[in-house]
């Protein structure tokens, strides 16, 4: 699917509030459809595996599915697979081609523990979900939390490696979802105006600045390795999913523009290590902006700009 620039700008100029509401309603329809399939599949397995590349909106999507399931009388527990990171050991940690620890690698996760927990949950047994302390780069046993699933309960395990063969091969019964922002923006002649990867870069840049206090050039420096990890470890496994859907929203470049454009504009291209930076900045000029105040508090884009009901 692709969006058309002229249609986006016409909608922003004529009635931006209605444009946002219509787009959010279309996304919520995807959420309801996924929730219905998950509800039916719980008779087969109580485990849901939700994956997608960085900046796809996995966290908010997981919480939205959870909320819809609860209206159906199904209690859903969201579990971040980041908590299954192993304590970093420089001697054994996987390395990227630059010799740095490859935090994008699935082998940073404790796959044995994950697979053991999936089987225990499906058998109705209690597990203790670990807690990974990123500040100390180590797992905390003290902060673990117990989880046991009843007959109308499921666990949604969300993480970039959730569909990796190392996991799905040992858990073929689990319901599997793949979520990614997959829509480019084209002009009226079908020429590319804004790449889908640029959209995720904008999401990450704004979120990192708002929630991690990172300078934008830091996000861009990391982006090449993030993209490398996606191509190696995430995208090849998307076809393992039972459900795939596009998490992009037709209005979001217009919403992100007032945030992302000035952030990216202040970056020295030599510092960014991102060859397309000038093209990304030029592309924003084609879009009409939308004021953040019009964005609903439960909209997926709130995961990146803040001010939403799902903010931690």
Asked whether residue 298 is domain-assigned, the answer is yes
Q: What is the CATH number of the domain that holds 261?
A: 3.40.50.300
3 state DSSP class of 294: helix
Return phi, psi of residue 105, to 5°.
-75, 140
Alpha-carbon distance of 198 to 55, in angstroms, equals: 10
Cβ atoms of 128 and 120 within 8 Å: the answer is no
Q: How many domains does the chain have?
A: 1
Predicted confidence (pLDDT) at residue 99 exceeds the cutoff of 60: yes
DSSP class of residue 71? Answer: H
**311 located within any domain:** no
State pTM to two decimals: 0.89
- For the stretch 30-79, pLDDT in tens is 999 999 999 999 989 999 999 999 899 998 998 999 999 999 999 999 89
Mean pLDDT (whole number) for 101-122: 86
309 falls within a domain: no
312 assigned to some structural domain: no
DSSP 134-198: TTTTEEEEEEEEEE---TTEEEEEE-TTTT-HHHHTT-TTSEEEEEE---EEE-TTS-EEE-HHH
Residue 91 located in a structural domain:
yes
Answer whether residue 122 is part of any domain: yes
Q: Which two tokens stand for residue 164?
A: 């990796």
What CA–CA distance (Å, rounded) separates 261 from 288?
12
Residue 41 included in any domain: yes
The domain of 298 spans 2-304
pLDDT per residue over 186-210, tens digit each? 999 999 999 999 999 999 999 999 9
Q: Is residue 225 part of a domain?
A: yes
């Amino acid at each position: 699917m692709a969006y058309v620039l002229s249609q986006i700008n016409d909608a922003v100029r004529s009635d931006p509030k209605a444009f946002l509401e219509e787009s959010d309603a279309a996304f919520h329809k995807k959420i309801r459809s996924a929730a219905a399939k998950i509800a039916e599949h719980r008779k087969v397995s109580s485990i849901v595996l939700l994956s997608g590349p960085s900046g796809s909106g996995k966290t908010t999507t997981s919480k939205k599915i959870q909320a819809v399931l609860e209206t159906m009388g199904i209690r859903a527990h969201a579990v971040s697979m980041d908590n299954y990171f192993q304590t970093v050991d420089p001697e054994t940690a996987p390395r990227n081609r630059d010799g740095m620890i490859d935090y994008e690698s699935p082998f940073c996760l404790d796959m044995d523990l994950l697979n053991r927990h999936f089987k225990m949950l499906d058998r109705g047994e209690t597990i203790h979900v670990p807690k990974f302390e990123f500040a100390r780069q180590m797992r905390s046993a003290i902060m673990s939390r117990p989880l046991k699933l009843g007959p109308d309960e499921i666990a949604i395990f969300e993480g970039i490696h959730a569909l990796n063969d190392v996991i799905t091969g040992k858990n073929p019964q689990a319901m599997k979802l793949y979520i990614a922002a997959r829509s480019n923006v084209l002009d009226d002649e079908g020429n590319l105006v804004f790449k889908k990867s640029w959209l995720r870069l904008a999401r990450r840049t704004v979120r990192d600045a708002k929630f991690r206090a990172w300078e934008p050039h830091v996000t861009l420096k990391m982006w090449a390795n993030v993209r490398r990890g996606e191509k190696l470890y995430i995208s090849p496994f998307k076809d393992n999913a039972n459900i795939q859907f596009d998490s992009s929203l037709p209005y979001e470049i217009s919403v992100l523009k007032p945030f992302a454009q000035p952030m990216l504009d202040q970056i020295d291209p030599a510092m960014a290590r991102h060859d397309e930076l000038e093209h990304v900045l030029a592309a924003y000029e084609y879009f009409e902006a939308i004021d953040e105040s019009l964005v609903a508090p439960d909209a997926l884009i709130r995961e990146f700009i803040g001010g939403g009901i799902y903010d931690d």
